[in-house]
Amino acid sequence: MLTSPIDNILVEKAKRQMLLRNGDSVVKTYRISLGKNPVGAKVKSGDNKTPEGDYTIVLHNPKSKFHLSLRISYPNAEQIKAAKEGNYEPGGDIMIHGYPNKKSPFLFKFKHRWKDWTAGCIAVTNDEIEEIYAAVKDGTPIAIKP
């Protein structure tokens, strides 16, 4: 259990880390996995990129196909507009989540822990998502940096 309230999240994609923060103070840092094509910002569905920009945690999902998940507010209005103008789908269902429910957590962690394996989400271990899920409230801002 975390000792300080979390009022914002910072993701640093290049460092593969996610920081839960209270103001500018780091409460806890997690090693993360990203989309299979992690360099650059997500633009459209199927590009396997993790978005970059400022978003919000909008939903706690206890019935996720992964071990718990927190939905991120991607795409934003600007990204939806660009997709309409470009005649493509911007994608969606971007989450912070644990491992897939249908896989052995031990074997999955052994095989994938230090790899980028998601379709654009931010992944942590099952134990870590339980801690994050309990500490982060809907409405929490999340900044995802390159």
Which CATH superfamily hosts domain 8-145?
Answer: L,D-transpeptidase catalytic domain-like (2.40.440.10)
- What order do you get walking across the sheet with 17-22 strand by strand? 25-31, 17-22, 8-12, 141-145, 53-61, 69-72, 95-97, 122-123
pLDDT band at 51 (very low <50, low <70, confident <90, very high): very high
Cα–Cα distance for residue pair 35/2, rounded to 1 Å: 27
Query: Which residue has tokens 């134990």?
Result: 127
Closest CA to 34 of 19, 21, 18: 18
According to the model, what pLDDT value does residue 2 have?
85
Model confidence, pTM: 0.93
CB atoms within 10 A of CB 30: 20
CA distance 33 to 115: 6
Contact 109, 96 (CB under 8 A): no
pLDDT at 141 over 80: yes
The reply to whether omega before 105 is within 30° of 0 (cis) is no
- Mean predicted confidence (pLDDT) in 54-77: 96
What's the pLDDT score for residue 128? Answer: 96
pLDDT digits (tens, 9 = 90+) for 1-16: 788 899 999 999 999 9
Whether 83 has a pLDDT exceeding 80, the answer reads yes
pLDDT in tens, 96-137: 999 999 888 777 776 777 799 999 999 999 999 999 999 999
Give the whole-angstrom CA distance, residue 126 versus residue 141.
22
pLDDT in tens, 13-22: 999 999 999 9
d(CA 137, CA 140): 6
